[in-house]
Copies of this chain bind each other. A is one copy, B any other.
Amino acid sequence: MTKSRGKRRQKVTLQHVADAAKVSKATASLALNNNPRISEPTRQRVLDAVEALGYVYNQRAASLRTQRSYTIGLVFKDVSNPFNAELTSGAESQLADHNYSLVLATTNDNLEKQARMVKTMLERDVDGLILAPTATTAAASLQSLMDFCPLVLLTPYYESLAVDCVGMDDANGTARAVEHLIRQGHRRIAFVGGFATDLTRQRRLQSYRGTLQRHNIEFDPALRIAGPVSRRGGYDAVHQLLSVPRPPSAAYCYSDVIAFGVMLGLRAAGMEAGRDFAVIGFDDVPEASLWHPSLTTVSNDPRGLGEQAAQLMLRRLATADATIKRVIMPSHLVLRDSTAAPVHEMPS
């Protein structure tokens, strides 16, 4: 048989169950919800009928009345970024424990697609939305989104909004990374990747400059390279960096993927990270430990981030007027081989 009969089982509804148990639909409903007003024998009859008929509860129908869909929307750029995959996994496991499901959508960092996806989520009547806004999302549009459903942001950079959010400790993470490089003797340290509109990048850049300043190192705009958050972006940055009059001996990269690109770019230029040049990333994605050389990076527990976001959402759903909570996940520097060697002079 290679032909589907396309014959689906006739849907069994609560009414059928009620009939079979010889009670009213209301009683059946109450029985299934363990309402104490229903006697034990009756409840058992209902449960037996459910079993016998193979009844499947229709959450969707129920939600129409209860106004609770038990689904949470999760919207971010891309699942295939390992950071987001971990984050999703963390959120999913928390939510599943509380009987919530996760509906997924991705934006490709495109504002228009984000709007479309958010709309879809609202039409699906999600109970809440966990959102990593694209770089250019206006605070006002997030504010108005909050009129429609509870919101948890995956970024700490909308301070003007009274919104729950969870973010990484960009300032501290960056400071520690840069300080590590300075301690190793580096004085010419590049900042690589990301675009100027990106709020997270702005914060890290600020911390980078502050840290340099605290160590009396002058900030050199030529060492700040903007570019896409991808391997390619890092690879291409290396060209620019090496052609600066006094080239850097180290790079602090906006994210691990960029750092990977930088390492590849260095190799193409006959240099090796960890020996001829120091490279630090941000995220600590699983690959970071696998690279050769392994990547020193700021670790951020993406799974924990997802769990936190889920928990903030669950909390807000439980008590709508709870105090706004902004969670900053601690980050710590993971020392690996890409910064192993102390500074040494660049061949100009």
A-to-B contact residues, CB < 8 Å: 1-6, 8-9, 56-61, 63-64, 69, 71, 78-82, 84-86, 88-89, 92-93, 96, 99, 101-106, 117, 119-125, 147-149, 162, 260, 286-287, 290-292, 303, 316, 320-324
Contacts and interface: CB of A to CB of B under 8 A. Distances in A.
B57 A60 contact: no
A290 to B, nearest CB: 6
A271 to B, nearest CB: 16
B85 A323 contact: no
Contacts of A321: 3-6
Copies of this chain: 2
B148 A71 contact: no
A57 to B, nearest CB: 5
A56 B89 contact: no
A2 B120 contact: no
A146 to B, nearest CB: 8
A322 B124 CA distance: 28
Given A102-B103, A125-B59, A320 B6 contact: yes
Contacts of A106: 89, 92-93, 96
A68 to B, nearest CB: 11
A66 to B, nearest CB: 11
15 contacts: A3-B323, A8-B147, A9-B147, A56-B122, A56-B123, A60-B63, A60-B124, A79-B88, A81-B85, A84-B85, A89-B106, A92-B106, A101-B103, A101-B105, A290-B290
A79 B101 contact: no
